[in-house]
């Protein structure tokens, strides 16, 4: 009984740790040397990001909070991966990751429901 409880707690702990930023660690490893992944940091200005990553695939208005979000497509060894860089109302990076802006907004809405 003790062993089963311990296993369940470990699994729940692992899943809970991933709940705030549901991304695949393999994506980070694969694309870690891409300029957007390697160089863009929270707090950077929109212009700094554009100078690193170039023109985004698309730019969308954020729905949950003021600001914008840029969608990029990263390419490595023939494989493509979406990547977003989100800006707050002051035009500074406040989030980035391996999904589209739309996917990120959807995840944020789901987390707010919890």
Q: What CATH code is carried by the domain that includes residue 79?
A: 3.30.1450.10
Q: How far is Cα of residue 89 from the mean position of the Cα atoms in its chain?
A: 18
Residue 42: give the domain boundaries. Answer: 22-113
Number of domains in the chain: 1
C-alpha to C-alpha distance for 33 and 101, rounded to whole angstroms: 21
61 in any annotated domain: yes
Task: Look up the pTM and report it.
Answer: 0.77
31 in any annotated domain: yes
5-56 pLDDT tens trace: 545 445 444 444 444 455 678 888 899 999 999 999 999 999 999 999 999 9
11 in any annotated domain: no
10 in any annotated domain: no
């Amino acid at each position: 009984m003790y062993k089963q409880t311990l296993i369940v707690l470990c699994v729940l702990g692992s899943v809970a740790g991933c709940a705030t930023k549901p991304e695949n660690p393999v994506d980070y490893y694969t694309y870690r040397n891409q300029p957007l992944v390697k160089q863009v940091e929270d707090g950077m200005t929109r212009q700094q990001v554009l100078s690193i990553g170039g023109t985004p695939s698309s730019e969308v208005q954020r729905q949950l909070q003021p600001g914008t979000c840029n969608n990029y497509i990263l390419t490595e060894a023939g494989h493509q991966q979406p990547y977003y860089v989100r800006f707050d109302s002051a035009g500074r990076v406040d989030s980035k990751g391996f999904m589209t802006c739309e996917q990120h907004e959807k995840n944020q809405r789901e987390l707010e429901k919890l």
